[in-house]
Amino acid sequence: MGWWDSLWASNTSAEDPLRKLDPKLREFLEKESPVKYHPPPQQQQQQQSTVAPTSSIPTARGEGRSESDSSTKSLVPKESQFQDGRYAELWKSYRPLAEIEAETKSDHEKLMDVLEGYKERKSQIGRAALENCALEQVDWRACMTDPSWTERLTLCRDQVKKFERCYMTQTRLLKALGYLSTSDRSPEVEEDIQMHADTLYHRMLKQEAEIAAAKKEGRPIPTFAPLVPRDSVGPRASVAELELTPEQQETMKAKLKDVAEEDRANEEEAIKGELRARAEVASKVQGLWKQQELDRQKRKEKGEETLWDKVAGAFNSSDGKEEKK
């Protein structure tokens, strides 16, 4: 009843001429207008009551969008530049290049990949040890570039010994913890092993400092648990304990004779870690040979046996006869 509101000036419409505007338009005008408009207190309460239910609409829309985004992201692989679900139909038949190459590789290439990975493990362990000994390298370089008189006379002998010991200890710890011993672990797990090796090294330095302080003060020497216990929790826990043959035990004892007593426990665990890595490689090679034999038998049953299959079968049969004799 607009005529009734015009008769009485005390009505809310006379007090608030913007009452009939849309709440969103009114909010926009309040933000953009240089002159701020202040409605009466009653109108403010009415405005809050009308805006409150409408404010829940964008949130519901936002929740719906987030759910749709999560569903669309799962349709698009991580290689896609657009993770919002665009071009999902183009990515349906996508397969990673490593997966395709693994299927198209020959048996010889698969075998060489296993052997090359084992050979590269040694250089990668050395690279990880150098990363953990970065501070020792900095001290050595600082001594070589700007040495003091005593460092000139000793040719930075203390810094060199500190770096060499760090490198050797880090290498032993990485081998003992099983760093890069298997190829089915993620890079994040390997990085955790590398960080854990660095933590163990600094723990060893603190223990040595406590032992030196106890000797200096005449206190009883404290005893500590081994850095790499046999029942450690982590990547090594999933690996079965390796049973050493008498020849391997003799070889390990011969290697431990030339190692200092304080480093002998770490060196022993490092040797065992290397033996575990070799056993892992040997099991993978045997698995590849078994798979090759199964594939050869399947081709023979289908009548698709190749010349190489016949030659390999002849060698296998001759080896089996010699073993029986």
pLDDT at 156: 92
Check residues 8 and 20 and name the one with the higher pLDDT: 20
Report the mean per-residue pLDDT for the chain: 76
Average pLDDT over residues 252-270: 83
Whole-number pLDDT of residue 60: 42
The secondary structure of 177-209, three-state, reads CCCCCCCCCCHHHHHHHHHHHHHHHHHHHHHHH
CA distance 254 to 218: 35
Residue among 67, 201, 75, 228 nearest 131 (CA):
201
pLDDT of residue 73: 45
Supply the pLDDT for residue 252: 83
Q: How many CA atoms lie within 13 A of 303 on its CB side?
A: 0
Question: What is d(CA 118, CA 182) in angstroms, rounded to the nearest whole number?
Answer: 9
How many CB atoms sit inside 10 A of residue 214's CB?
Answer: 13
Instruction: Give the H/E segment covering residue 286.
Output: helix 264-302
Task: Enumerate residues 6+ apart whose C-beta is below 8 A from 260.
Answer: none
Average pLDDT (101-112) is 76
CB atoms inside a 10 Å sphere around CB 179: 26
Q: Cα(first)–Cα(last) distance of the chain, in Å?
A: 115
Q: Which pLDDT belongs to residue 241?
A: 57
CA distances from 15 to 18, 40, 149, 261 (A): 9, 7, 90, 94
CB 266 within 8 A of CB 228: yes
Say what the pLDDT of residue 320 is.
53
What pTM does this model have? 0.59
pLDDT at residue 15 above 60? no
pLDDT in tens, 269-305: 888 888 888 888 888 888 888 887 888 788 778 877 7
Per the model's pLDDT, the better-predicted residue between 97 and 164 turns out to be: 164
- What are the pLDDT digits (tens) for 125-160? 999 999 999 999 999 999 999 999 998 999 999 999
What is the per-residue pLDDT for 145? 92
Give me Rg for the CA atoms of the chain: 37
Question: How many percent of the chain have pLDDT more than 90?
Answer: 24
236 pLDDT tier (thresholds 50, 70, 90): very low
Residue 171 has a pLDDT of 94
Q: What is the mean pLDDT of residues 215-241?
A: 69
- What's residue 132's pLDDT? 95
pLDDT tens-digit readout, 26-84: 777 776 665 666 665 555 555 555 544 444 444 444 444 454 444 444 677 877 888 88
Q: Quick check: 94 pLDDT over 60?
A: yes
**Weakest-pLDDT range from 88-97, 217-226, 231-240:** 231-240
Encode 154-177: b = buried (16+ Cβ within 10 Å), e = exposed: eebeebbebbebbbbbbbbbbbbb
The pLDDT value given to residue 200: 94
